[in-house]
Amino acid sequence: MSDVYVMGIDMIKFGRFPDRTVPQLGATAALMALDDAGLTIQDMQALYCGNLGQASAMVGQRILQEIGQTGIGVVNCANACATGATAFREAWMSIKAGVNDVVLAVGVEQMGKGLLGGGGGGTGISKEGLLGSGTMPAVFAEAGMEHSRHYGTTFEQFAKVSVKNHHHSTLNPKAMYQIETPLETVMNAEMISYPNTKLMCSVNVDGAAAAVLVSEKKARELGMSRAVRVKASILTSDPYSDRDLVMPDVNAVTRRAAKEAYEMAGIGPDDISLVELHDCFATAEILHYENLGLCKDGDAGRMIDEGEVALGGRIPVNVSGGLLSKGHPLGATGIANIYEVSTHLRGEADKRQVAGARFGMTHVIGLGSACGIHILEKVA
C-alpha cells in the first residue's frame, strides 16, 4: 500500500463570521490548501467534507458550488468533535485503498455562543439540573474529578493548562485570541462547572481547515520538499466500561487509539516532538497526557507543574493555543490540528516553532464517543 502525504494544508484564522456561510468558510480553506499544494480543484479526485451543524445539508457539494463543480465524488461526514479527523481519515483511506491519488479534505463549522450539551430527551420535562448536568463543561469537569480522585490533581493544576495554552496562542496569529491569562485570572474567572472556570472552557468560534492528500506516486511527481507523511491514522469508538453510559469514558477510547497509532507508525511516545490534543476543557488535557502515553499514569499533574508540556519543554502540547484559545469549531478542529503539526514538521511555525520536530501527533475526541489520532512525519 502506498504511503499517504499531506501536500497542501491550511486553515483560516478562527473567529466569528456571522456574515459568511458554512460553504463559504469551507471554500476559503479549500482554496488555501489547494494553493499551498500548487494544485487546483480540477486536480482533485474526491472531496471528504466534515461538518456537524449542517450534517444533513450537503456541505461538501455546496463548497464545490463555490469553487468548482467538477463532478467528483463527495462524502459528507459527521462524528461529533472527531468530525474533521474522520473526514481526513476517509481521504487517507481512499488513497491507501488505491482508489485515488489526490484528494481534498475539508473541515468547517459555524458555531453559536453558549453552552453545548444537556439535551436530555425522554419524558416531557428537562432533566438538566434535575438528574445532574449534561452540559459539556460539567461532563468534562466530572472526567477531570476522576483524575483528582485517583491522583489528587488540584484545581490549580487544571487551571495551569489554560495559562499555558493561552500563552501559546499569543504566538499564533491564526488563533481566536492572543491574550495572556495569568493563573489568578484563570482561577478567578467565572466558575462554570467546578473545577472548570470560563477560561478553562474551549472557545466556540467559526473556522475551517483543509488538506490535500496524495499518494506516494503523486508526491514524487509534485516534489517532496514540503510533504508531510501520514504515519498513522486511527479511529476508535468507546469500548464498554462500567460507567461509560452514565459518565462518558474519554480515557479508554483514547488509550485504544493511541496504542494502535503507535503500532501503525512503528514508534513510541518518546519519538514524538509535539502533540495537538483535545483540550476542549482544561480538565481534559490533563487526562490525555497519560492516555497518550506522554507520561506514566498519575504523572500528569507533575508534567504541567514542571512545564514539560510548554513550548520549550520535553514534549510541547497544544502550541497552537489549543481549543482553549485557538478556538474549537467542532468540524474543523481535527484538520486544524493536523495543519498545526504539519506546519512545525515543515519548519514554518515561526515564533512557536518546536525545534527539530520530526514526528507529531494529533488527537480529537467526539463525545459519544469517537477518538481520532494521526501521527505525522517530517519528510525532507
Partner 1 sequence: MSEKPKDKGPLPVVSWLKGAGTNDPYLEGQKCECGAIFLGERSNCSSCGARDQLTPTRLSNKGKLYVYSIVHRSFPGIEVPYISAIVDLEGGGTVKGNLINVEPDPANIEFDMPVDVVFDDALGRKDKDGNSYVSYFFQPAA
Q: What angle do CA 28, 37, 102 make, to 5 degrees?
A: 95
Q: What are phi and psi of 197, to 5 degrees?
A: -85, 175
Site string for partner 1, 191-230 (x = CB under 8 A): xxxxxx----------------------------------
Part in contact with partner 1 (CB under 8 A); list of ranges 49-57, 103-111, 128-136, 222-230: 128-136
- Told to check if 125 binds partner 1 by CB under 8 A, we report yes
Residues 49, 77, 81, 295: which is the catalytic one? 81
For the chain, state the CA radius of gyration: 19
Closest separation in Å from C-beta 146 to partner 1: 5
Residues forming a β-bridge with 103? 213
Regarding 118 and contact with partner 1 (CB under 8 A), the answer is yes
114: helix, strand or coil: coil
Active site residue 49: no
Of the residues 167, 168, 288, 328, only one is catalytic, namely 328
Task: Select from 97-105, 121-129, 293-301, 371-379 the region that touches partner 1 (CB under 8 A).
Answer: 121-129
**328 catalytic residue (yes or no):** yes
Instruction: Write out the three cell numbers for 23.
Output: 460553504
Q: Does 99 bind partner 1 (CB under 8 A)?
A: no
Taking the C-alpha atoms of residue 9 and residue 4, their distance in angstroms, rounded to an integer, is 14
Give me the helix-helix angle, 282-291 and 250-265, nearest 10°.
40
Among 110, 133, 153, 333, binds partner 1 (CB under 8 A): 133
Q: How many CB atoms lie within 10 A of CB 83?
A: 32
Q: Is 243 in the site for partner 1 (CB under 8 A)?
A: yes
User: Do residues 210 and 335 make contact, with C-beta atoms less than 8 angstroms apart?
Assistant: yes
The three-state secondary structure class of 253 is: helix
Out of 72, 115, 179, 252, the only residue in the binding site for partner 1 (CB under 8 A) is 115
Nearer to partner 1, 94 or 254 (CB): 254
| Smallest gap from residue 302 Cβ to partner 1 (A) | 21
- Is residue 127 part of the contact set for partner 1 (CB under 8 A)? yes
> Which residue, 152 or 223, is less far from partner 1 as judged by CB?
152
The least distance separating partner 1 from the CB of residue 190, rounded to whole angstroms, comes to 7
Q: Shortest gap between Cβ of 39 and partner 1 (angstroms)?
A: 44
Query: What angle separates helix 136-151 from helix 250-265, to the nearest 10 degrees?
Result: 80
Among 190, 225, 351, 356, binds partner 1 (CB under 8 A): 190
Site for partner 1 in 141-170 (CB under 8 A): 141-142, 145-146, 148-149, 155
Q: What is the DSSP string of 93-113?
A: HHHHTTS-SEEEEEEEE---S
Q: Which of 55, 72, 247, 379 binds partner 1 (CB under 8 A)?
A: 247
Looking from the CA of 133 toward its CB, the CA atoms found within 13 Å total: 14
129 binds partner 1 (CB under 8 A): yes
Question: Residue 76's closest CA among 99, 103, 55?
Answer: 55
Residue 149 DSSP symbol: H
Provide the edge-to-edge strand list for the sheet that holds 370-378: 73-77, 46-50, 102-109, 207-215, 4-11, 228-237, 370-378, 359-366, 274-276
Cis peptide before 56 (omega within 30 of 0): no
- Least CB distance to partner 1 at residue 283 (A): 9
Q: How far is the CB of 238 from partner 1 (least distance, A)?
A: 10
> What is d(CA 231, CA 56) in angstroms, rounded to the nearest whole number?
32
Give the count of residues interacting with partner 1 (CB under 8 A): 37
112 lies in the binding site for partner 1 (CB under 8 A): no
Site of interaction with partner 1 (CB under 8 A) = 115, 118, 122-133, 135, 137-138, 141-142, 145-146, 148-149, 155, 190-196, 240, 242-243, 245-247
Residues with catalytic function: 81, 328
